[in-house]
Amino acid sequence: MSVAADRFRRFLLPGLAFKAVVIGGGYATGRELAEFFLPFGPWGGVAAMAFAMLIWSLVAAATFAVAFRTGARDYRHFFETLLGRGWFVFEIAYAVFVVLILAVFGAAAGAIAHATLGLPAMVGTIALMVAIMGCVAFGNAGVERSFMALSVLLYATYAIFLVLSLTGVGSEIEQAFASAPAPAGEWPLGGLTYAGYNIIGAVMILPVTRHFRSRRDAITAGLVAGPLAMLPALLFFVSMVAFLPDIADAVLPSDYILGRLGLPAFNFVFQLMIFAALLESGIGAVHAVNERIDKTRDVVMTAPMRVALAFAILFPCMLVADRVGLVDLIASGYRALAWVIIAVYVLPLFAYVAWRRVKRTPVPAPEAT
**Residue range 225-284, pLDDT digits in tens:** 999 999 989 989 999 999 988 898 887 788 888 888 887 778 888 888 888 888 888 888
CB proximity list for 277: less than 8 A, separation 6 or greater: 20, 23, 24, 27, 28, 150, 154
* Residues recorded for the chain: 369
Integer Cα distance of 179 and 173 in angstroms: 10
pLDDT in tens, 116-164: 788 888 898 899 999 999 988 888 888 888 888 888 888 899 889 889 8
| Model confidence pLDDT, tens digit, residues 76-104 | 889 998 998 888 898 888 888 888 778 87
Domains and CATH numbers, the chain: 9-351 (1.20.1740.10)
Question: Are 271 and 256 contacting, i.e. CB atoms less than 8 angstroms apart?
Answer: no
> In the prediction, which pLDDT does 363 show?
43
Of 287 and 325, the one with more pLDDT: 287
Q: What confidence score (pLDDT) does residue 1 get?
A: 64
Please, how many CA atoms are within 13 Å of residue 169, restricted to the half-sphere of its CB? 22
Hey, what amino acid is at 29?
T
CA–CA distance, 95 with 118 (Å, rounded to integer) = 33
* CA dist., res. 45 & res. 274, Å (int): 22
CA 287 to chain centre: 14
Q: Which amino acid is at 58?
A: L
- What 3-state DSSP class applies to 182? coil
CA gyration radius for the chain?
Answer: 21
Residue 242's contacts (CB-CB under 8 Å, 6 or more residues apart) are 165, 169, 172, 173, 176
pLDDT tens readout for residues 35-91 = 889 999 999 999 999 999 999 999 999 999 999 999 988 888 899 989 988 888 988
